[in-house]
A and B are shown apart, each in its own frame.
Chain A
Amino acid sequence: MDDLYRELIIERNRSPHFRGELEPNDYTFQDENPLCGDNIRIDVRTDDAGFITEAAFSGHGCAISQASSDLLIESVIGKSVEDVKKMTKEDVLDLLGIELGPVRLKCALLPLKVIKAGLYGMGEATDTL
């Protein structure tokens, strides 16, 4: 129990560093987890070389999806769009530092799904990360 809700997750859920919306932006995407109704939008700004300069998330969800969003955004700022497109499930789990069962995994991975769909310019997010 102390594992799943470790201090970092509780703290980032309570006071996220990257909550908000960016208008205008270069990439934006929004999606939800139909199982629980969690809804996340991520806005991204990039420079001319294709590096992410700013990003923010909005929407609502459980502590895991909120903390995961915040930590993911922290980790992508300064990265190139192409590198972020290559991020995997393991990268997100490393950021969170926890192990998750199949149901909560969906919560944790929703922000990655959303940011990748935005960067790929997809009509719809997919589960294949």
Chain B
Amino acid sequence: MKDCKQFTGDFDTLKAEFPTLWRKVSSGADLVYLDSAATSQKPDCVLQAMDEYYRLSNANIHRGIHTLAEEATAAYENARKRIAAFIGAASSKEVVFTRNATEAINLIAYSWGRKNLNAGDIVVLSEMEHHANLVPWQILAEERDIRLEFIPVTAEGLLDMESYQEILALEPKLVSFTHMSNVLGTINPAKEIISQAKAAGAVTLLDAAQSLPHFPVDVADLDADFLAFSGHKMCGPTGVGVLYGREALLRDMPPFLGGGDMIRKVYLRSFVSNELPYKFEAGTGAIAEVIGLGAAVDFLSGIGMDNVDAHGREITQYAMQVLDELPWLHILGPGADKRGGVVAFTLDGVHPHDVAQILDWDGVAVRAGHHCAMPLHERFSVPATTRASFYIYNSHNDVDVLVESLRKVKKMLG
């Protein structure tokens, strides 16, 4: 059994911990995985933690009295504590498990939004949002007649902070935005955006799906009211995400889904909600996955998020530098100093699908399409892009293989 806490920031050896990274792709080439912004690979110790739960302690949680149920409950709640500490939450009551970041944002729109937003109220989003932070608000806008305002994105790929001030003057009720763009890679000045929103009287929701895997994110320091992220992009499993919410806000919110676990008492015609965070966790949760996410947090904490950040910056800088030398390749978004490990680009005369397909023959896994950010692609007048994204297991060599393969694409189709 591997202990997820045993690893350090020795990035040369980390790759060995990820079983998938040692396979070949269908063409026979070694896998070079550059699609971590979609989902990260999982280290052995995380897989083992989930396996151990199923093999040794599998039981439903919270209600059981027997040994297995106690072990499973302890493992689940212990994971919640470590995850709370990882994001700097004041208490584990503020950590609600959801299926993913998308569900966490929907929970806020459904519960907080329906309680607090009325016709004419303004919700501020940005032009660089993932569909997960657009569609829930569009649904609510339709239903409640609320107004959506968008912080524009500049040609450089940054949020236009001057326009933001003008939008804040409209006294919005909520400002909900992404900490890091999954297309441009832009890291937004979250602390500044949040403090200005607060000053204007708005509640804030930060989509940390891309940021939390890559650099230290502390809800207390950021002063965020709500924060959403997914386990699967940060070495954890799919099927579990987190909604962090300030306790006072969560307490005032009506439940999201109804059923077992979220109640204290049920009568035939009414119920009394359970305490936090269980009020928002109806039905049997993703027990193994929560335990897996706890292990992933141990893994990342052991390496140190500052080290994860430094490694990511270093690889991104190198990638930007070598990709910049290809005159037929155009990178979207800001310079390396303002972005995380995501580089989306277009290639003259070649469709992103064809790029991704040919790269796959060389083992290079990248993503092609609109990356769930259609309005942002429209903003930059491109139907689709190819995106390479980097994580702790990537090296300069991976970038070199990418560049070599891109030259081949250009020669073949360009």
Contacts and interface: CB of A to CB of B under 8 A. Distances in A.
Interface in A1-53: 1, 4-5, 10, 13-14, 35-39
Interface stretch (B82-90, B241-249, B351-359): B351-359
Contacts of A5: 354, 358, 412-413
Interface in B339-382: 350-354, 357-358, 361, 368-370, 374, 377
B384 interface: yes
Contact of B361 (A1, A37, A61): A1
Contact of A35 (B350, B358, B369, B412): B369
B383 interface: yes
A107 B412 contact: no
A10 B374 CA distance: 28
A89 interface: no
Contact of B369 (A36, A64, A66, A104): A36
Contact of A4 (B350, B357, B369): B357
Contacts, number: 49
A63 B413 contact: yes
B270 interface: no
A79 interface: no
Interface centre among A1, A10, A39 (most CB of B within 10 A): A1
Interface in B133-180: none
Question: Majority SS of interface residues in chain A?
Answer: mixed
B27 A63 contact: no
Contacts of A14: 413
A93 interface: no
A35 B369 CA distance: 7
Given A37-B384, A39-B383, A62 B374 contact: no
Interface in A40-84: 60-64, 66
A13 B413 contact: yes
Interface string B256-300: 000000000000000000000000000000000000000000000
Contact of A1 (B351, B352, B358, B377): B358
Contacts of B383: 37-39, 60
A14 to B, nearest CB: 8
A104 B383 CA distance: 17
B27 A1 contact: yes
A107 B351 CA distance: 12
Contact of A107 (B27, B350, B353): B353
B374 A37 contact: yes
Nearest to B355: A62
Nearest to B370: A37
B401 to A, nearest CB: 16
A119 B357 CA distance: 32
5 contacts: A1-B358, A37-B374, A62-B352, A63-B351, A107-B353
Interface of A: 1, 4-5, 10, 13-14, 35-39, 60-64, 66, 104, 107
The 9 closest A-B pairs by CB, nearest first: A62-B353, A62-B351, A37-B383, A1-B361, A63-B354, A37-B384, A36-B369, A62-B354, A37-B370
